[in-house]
Structure 1
Amino acid sequence: MLIRWLLAAIHLLAFGFALASILRRTRGLRRCTSTEDLPMIFRADNGWGGSAVVLILTGVARVFGGFEKGADYYLHAPLFHVKMAALVLILVLEIVPMRALVRWRLAVSRGDVPDLTAAPKYARIGVWQTVLLVVMVFAAAGMARGIGVEAGAE
């Protein structure tokens, strides 16, 4: 019982950290005009990546680790599919900004000035990721209340 509670709490906290981090990174990218803006963007990106790892690990443990209702319950819950579709879209959208931020980090570490002209595009991607993260929270809240689950399946 204690491990279920801790996993759920950590999972929920990771959503908060993820939301704060993606909003901060998006805001930083929107305002990015020079390399002086990059340290804050990199810190926010680290928070975004770290919270995503925690979300995925705790989510997998809760679904397949025998701590919660079990994989059969989740795999038959429509809102779980909504949540997973949002996660996949977030991860697919992350490919482009992640690659750019890795290039920027490498350029800065070499003392070069990275090309920051695409920063507004990455900020727009962050807006979509934020929306999808909120969709995941709504789906999770609905699943916790049995919305969309057949009466006998709970």
Structure 2
Amino acid sequence: MLVRWLLAAIHLLAYGLALASILRRTWALRRATVPAALRSVFRADTGWGISALFLIVTGLMRAFGGFEKGTDYYLHEPLFHVKMTLLVLILLLEIAPMLALMRWRAALRKGSPPDLRRARRYAHICVIQTVLLIAMVFAASGMARGIGLPTGVV
């Protein structure tokens, strides 16, 4: 019981950290016109990455580790599939910003100015990710209340 509670709490806190980090990264990317501005982008990106790791690990443990309602419940829960689809979309959208930030970090290590022309485009991707993350929270809270399941299954 204690482990279930802690996993749920960490999972929920990770959503909060994810939201704060992605909003902060969006804000920082919008202002990234010079290399000196990238420090805040990188810090926010680190928070986003850590929160994503916690969300994925605790989510997998809760859904498939025997700590919650069981794998069968989750695999037959429509909102779980919605939530996983949203997660996949977020991760797919993350590819371009992640690669760009890796290039920017490498350029700064070499002493070269990074090409920041697409920073605002990556900020726009972050906005889309934010909306998808919020939709994930709605799907998760619906799952917790049995919304979407046939009557009597909960």
Smaller-chain TM-score range?
over 0.9
* Structure 1 residues 81-130: Cα deviation after superposition (integer angstroms, max 9, x where no partner): 11000000000000000000000001111111100000010000000000
Aligned structure 1 segments of 4 or more residues deviating by more than 4 angstroms: none
Question: Structure 2 CA distance, aligned partners of 1:9 and 1:60?
Answer: 14
* Structure 1 residues 34-71: Cα deviation after superposition (integer angstroms, max 9, x where no partner): 01110100000000001000000000000000000011
Question: Structure 1 CA distance, aligned partners of 2:90 and 2:147?
Answer: 23
Question: Structure 2 CA distance, aligned partners of 1:66 and 1:149?
Answer: 20
Question: Structure 2 CA distance, aligned partners of 1:135 and 1:71?
Answer: 22
RMSD value, Cα: 0.7
- Aligned partner of 1:39 in structure 2 is 39
Question: Structure 1 CA distance, aligned partners of 2:95 and 2:65?
Answer: 28
The answer to whether residue 42 in structure 2 is matched with residue 76 in structure 1 is no
In 2, are the aligned partners of 1:22 and 1:130 still within 8 Å (CA)? yes
- Aligned partner of 2:138 in structure 1 is 138
1:152 positional shift: 3.0
The answer to whether residue 112 in structure 2 is matched with residue 112 in structure 1 is yes
TM-score if structure 1 supplies the norm length? 0.98
1:32 positional shift: 1.1
TM-score if structure 2 supplies the norm length? 0.98
Question: Structure 1 CA distance, aligned partners of 2:5 and 2:149?
Answer: 22
Question: Structure 2 CA distance, aligned partners of 1:148 and 1:44?
Answer: 35
1:153 positional shift: 2.2
Question: Structure 1 CA distance, aligned partners of 2:24 and 2:109?
Answer: 22
Percent of paired sites with the same residue: 68
Question: Structure 1 CA distance, aligned partners of 2:149 and 2:59?
Answer: 19
Question: Structure 1 CA distance, aligned partners of 2:72 and 2:107?
Answer: 47
Question: Structure 1 CA distance, aligned partners of 2:72 and 2:135?
Answer: 22
